[in-house]
Amino acid sequence: MLEIKNLHVRIAEEETEILKGVNLTVAAGEVAAIMGPNGSGKSTLSYVLAGKDDYEVTEGDILFNGESILEMEPDERAASGVFLAFQYPMEIPGVPTMNFLKAAMNAQRKARDEAEYTTPEFIKTVKAAAGELNIDFNMLKRALNVGFSGGEKKRAEILQMQLLEPKLCVLDETDSGLDIDALKIVSDGVNRLRDPERAFLVITHYQRLLEHIVPDSVHVLYQGRIIESGDKSLALHLEENGYADVIARAA
Amino acid sequence: MNIQKTAAEETLGFMLPTRRVESFHYTDLRAMLRDLPAEASADGGDNGYTPLVDTHLVSFNDGKLSGEQVLPSGVIMTADAAKANSVDINDAIVAMNAVSAGDAVEFVISGDATKDKPLGLGHVSTQAARSGTYHKVTVKAGSEGHVIERHTSSGGVASLSTTVSELVLEEGAKAVWYIIQQENEAASRLARLNVTLEQDADLSIFVLNAGGKLVRQEIKVAVNGENANLAIRGVNLVGDNAHIDVTTVLEHNVPHTNAEELFRNVVAGDGHGIFQGQIKVAQPAQKTDAQMACNTLLLTDEGDFSAKPELEIFADDVICAHGATVTDIDDEHMFYLKARGIDEKTARALLIKAFVDEVVEEMEAGEVMEEALTGIIDSWLDENV
């Protein structure tokens, strides 16, 4: 489903290269975890997948279902099924969450030549999904993410993911800032979406999240390259030993 | 300095202010009104004015009272009041109004006759001509006045309409006054609202500029009674080729009064927007609390916005704050919306609308009026963004 080939990325208008030849393949139905120390390029990878224009791809390619997405705008990528759950979801004053959800859901349906939701259908769908994630429906009448707690913001991200039904879900440190109960709710939300037709790229610092969202593969990103890949036992190894020996092996 | 009168000034009988007059620095009337339209001819026929919402309507056609007025018992209208005049260069709009043909109408509001159905002052300009209307509205002690002053013009007509409105809130009176300007893109409009607030008066003003070529709306408030409360909110939508200037002067003359001023502006194309906000706190006006904010979204490199806050404070125990920002649409906000599949144009419209709708919401205008206001904003955004 996702093939990242020799991906080199730098910050636009700067010389500093952040990703220095990332190779990664994630199959449909797979949950791949990306771990790595601070500054290794994890968030950059998630932004590049979503199409943020602060970054410049200088070499390599990203194939989604066999086709390059590098020339696609973020909204086109989203409509084709790429979803990024942000590490820091934006607060957008003045835009009620419900209006935003409706605009997003209908924009994607329109891009896929599907009929737009009617208002009653839309409200029913959102209410059901919000209930599963323990989100108070009244919260969704407020401006998007404005005044939401850290946990509420992350749950709102998962709500959007559930409603937009993407093919590739990129979760950028979705566990940061969550207490144990919120972590459970968010993980359950992700697990409900696991599907043979859907792939996940779970970016995290901690093994803790991977106890809840059990990955099929674990990859270590260090200094802009994947230096080691393995199964879920690699995450346990990192938790116990830190990154030092993996980095030493790669050197 | 050239002291020879221009042809326009010969017609008016006085000199128009140049940019050398500080309060007209950004709106040089002498240069901008070189071609002064002739006075509107008397008409006063039914102009087919369509009200925005249901009101007790008094409508004006090219400055003249038009049609019939059916007013409730709590509103007393006098049709031939005297216009105000001034020789102060800062009052050029008042002077212009005095020498432009048009009716002067006075209203006295008592009780709550306008609470559910406001007094509507509906203006249409149909001629490429100059007109001047004058309103005086007094809200009696303890009464409540709701007024919607609205200005429109026939498509493409290069009219020059002026309006001077005087509003007096007696002791304990409450009022909500809307100024809704929807002139066509060739029309010019010069206006002044003079307000006097007595003790315990509570006034909320909302200004919506959504049209016009040259527009200057002045609001001058004398806060003369203790515990008076004033809120001025506004949305200025400055389109391509438009010049929209909102100039406010608040004079706090007595202790314990509050004023809050908030303007949100959107500049499209090569529009020019101006906000001048003056707050004067006299020496006896201790415990004044005055807040002023002016936030602008500048959508292009060609457009501009000038914001000039001025505080003159002679009392020592006051809270006065002002802030002005000019920004473009936030890239991070754009990326977030696009990352959810919302296309660029829709995302921009959503963010601009959010920026100005916040001010409309703060008015708590009621569902019908709020929808009418956001409807005007939406259609402006559709055409200009």
- Residue A218 maps to which CATH number? 3.40.50.300
Interface test with A, best of B297, B331, B342 (most A CBs within 10 A): B342
Residue (of A149, A156, A26) closest to A85 by Cα position: A156
Query: Is B83:B164 a contact under the CB 8 Å cutoff?
Result: yes
Across the range A30-47, mean pLDDT stands at 94
Res B43: pLDDT? 65
Res B122: pLDDT? 96
pLDDT tops 90 at residue A186: no
Task: Say if the Cβ atoms of A75 and B342 lie within 8 Å.
Answer: yes
**Nearest-10 crossing angle of helices A150-164, A180-193:** 10
Res B46: pLDDT? 60
Name the residue among A50, A95, A103 with its Cβ closest to that of B339: A50
Res A251: pLDDT? 77
Q: Which residues of A touch B340 (CB under 8 A)?
A: 75, 78, 100, 104, 107-108, 160, 164
CA distance A111 to chain B (A): 8
Helix (H) or strand (E) holding A247: helix A244-250
Q: For residue range A104-160, list pLDDT tens digits in order.
A: 999 888 888 889 999 999 999 999 999 999 899 999 999 999 999 888 999 999 999
Task: Say if the Cβ atoms of B339 and A84 lie within 8 Å.
Answer: yes
Number of C-alpha atoms within 13 angstroms, CB side, residue B232? Answer: 27
ipTM higher than the 0.90 cut: yes
**Nearest-10 crossing angle of helices B344-362, B367-384:** 150
Nearest Cα residue in chain A from B349: A95
Task: Say if the Cβ atoms of A93 and B341 lie within 8 Å.
Answer: no
Query: Is B165:B192 a contact under the CB 8 Å cutoff?
Result: yes
Q: Which residues of B touch A99 (CB under 8 A)?
A: 350
d(CA A130, CA A189): 10
Interface test with B, best of A53, A82, A90 (most B CBs within 10 A): A90
CA distance A233 to chain B (A): 33
In this prediction, what percent of chain A has a pLDDT beyond 70?
A: 100
How many H helices and E strands in chain B?
6, 19
Res B5: pLDDT? 87
Domain of A152, in residue numbers: 2-250
One pLDDT digit (tens) per residue for chain B, 385 residues: 557 888 888 889 899 999 999 999 999 999 999 989 988 887 655 667 889 999 999 999 999 998 888 899 999 999 988 999 999 999 999 999 999 999 999 999 999 999 999 999 999 999 999 999 999 999 999 999 999 999 999 989 999 999 999 999 999 999 999 999 999 999 999 999 999 999 999 999 999 999 999 999 999 999 999 999 999 999 999 999 999 999 999 999 999 999 999 999 999 999 999 999 999 999 999 999 999 999 999 999 999 999 999 999 999 999 999 999 999 999 999 999 999 999 998 999 999 999 999 999 999 999 999 999 999 999 999 899 8
The distance from CA B178 to its chain's CA centroid, rounded to whole angstroms, is: 8
Q: Which residues of A touch B355 (CB under 8 A)?
A: 94
Total domain count for chain A?
1
Task: Say if the Cβ atoms of B332 and A90 lie within 8 Å.
Answer: yes
Task: Say if the Cβ atoms of A92 and B340 lie within 8 Å.
Answer: no
Across the range A232-247, mean pLDDT stands at 90
d(CA A185, CA A165): 18
Task: Say if the Cβ atoms of A92 and B344 lie within 8 Å.
Answer: no
A–B interface: beta-carbon pairs under 8 A: 74
Query: Is A131:A162 a contact under the CB 8 Å cutoff?
Result: no
Across the range A8-27, mean pLDDT stands at 92
Find where tokens 């909302």 sit.
B206
Query: Is A144:A97 a contact under the CB 8 Å cutoff?
Result: yes
Three-class DSSP category at A133: coil
**pTM of model > 0.80:** yes
Name the residue among A75, A89, A160 with its Cβ closest to that of B338: A75
Tokens standing for A205?
């610092």
Res B1: pLDDT? 52
